[in-house]
Amino acid sequence: MTTEPETVLRRPPPRETLEWARRAIGERSRIVGVETLFGGISHANHGLDIADESGSVQRVVIRRWARPDWEVTDPEYTPAQEVATYGLIAASAVPAPRLIAADVTGDACDVPAILVTRIEGTPGGEWQDDPTFTTQLAAAVPLIQAVDPERARLIVPPYRPYYTASMLEPPSWAKHPDVWEQAITISTGREPDAPACFIHRDYHPENTIWRAGRLVGIVDWTSASWGPPQIDLAHMRVNLAADIGVDAADAFLAAYRALDGSFDYDPFWDIRGVIDFISDLDTEGHLLDPLEALVIAAVAALG
């Protein structure tokens, strides 16, 4: 009998892994709390409360490559790569966790793992009714783009779509399959010219942390890449459209354009952003209508 991936990711870390995390804080420290953190589908994430020698409690997150097939499905997103990414953003203004320790081979832990600081707050989805929600999401993007380009292009992998042309066909539920055919043709064609920079690659509300109505953290840097800045904008737009509506996606883009009036956002990127999700669309019923609306509008604009 095989174990469901979600069960593996939610299972508490074993004793040897907790011991590794404890020692990373100090030999005389002790673990006083373990919490499963929900939301991720690729890693096992657990919050640990560790009291150091003085009794002060440090709140950290242990992130483990516990999904058995990760080396097949995500071979470029290795523990070593994520460690390098944390090293890259440590000197930046990006509000991200900081790396404490890493076991990239899994020699000390049950599987490869990293230990990072925990940013206190709640996921962005809980703050979507805040009138500044999309504005704050937009304001964080330039901080990501400003990460040292000379180092970034050497450290993170180049951007690539999540699909190949042979994987694509219009969703079975599509009301306008002919438009989806056009979108697929566009998405697998030539990208508009765009200067590359450091990108998060999976920037969406659930990968942001908020406290008292303020965006205070951006998490899950596994997919960080070197590529067009429009990718982060498109990925956020797709998620906002699916979760809140197309108006929220448009408000986010308008807020970003207000920061950089010369920025060119080609509708191609909306298509690329939606097509990135195409393999999931038959099972995510709540996503369907707003994402089809994005596709129809983008194809028409490129008409």
Q: What pLDDT digit, counting tens, does each position of 32-86 carry?
A: 999 999 766 778 999 999 999 999 999 999 999 998 888 887 787 899 999 999 9
- The pLDDT assigned to 164 comes to 81
Domains and CATH numbers, the chain: 5-118 (3.30.200.20), 123-302 (3.90.1200.10)
CB 288 within 8 A of CB 173: yes
Confidence of residue 1 (pLDDT cuts 50, 70, 90): very low
Between 260 and 28, whose confidence is greater?
28
- The pLDDT assigned to 6 comes to 65
Average pLDDT, the chain: 92
Between 288 and 187, whose confidence is greater?
187
The C-alpha atoms of residue 138 and residue 171 are separated, in whole angstroms, by 30
Q: Is the pLDDT of residue 283 over 60?
A: no
pTM, two decimal places: 0.92
Mean pLDDT of 278-290: 69
> What's the half-sphere exposure (Cβ side, CA atoms, 13 Å) at 148?
13
Closest CA to 297 of 262, 231, 253, 263: 253
Q: Is the pLDDT of residue 5 over 80?
A: no
The C-alpha atoms of residue 198 and residue 79 are separated, in whole angstroms, by 19
Between 261 and 65, whose confidence is greater?
65
Q: What is the dihedral of CA 120, 82, 280, 209, to 10 degrees?
A: 10
- The pLDDT assigned to 2 comes to 40
- The pLDDT assigned to 285 comes to 58
Q: What pLDDT digit, counting tens, does each position of 84-122 carry?
A: 999 999 999 999 999 999 999 999 999 999 999 999 999
- The pLDDT assigned to 77 comes to 82
Closest CA to 233 of 262, 200, 208, 190: 200
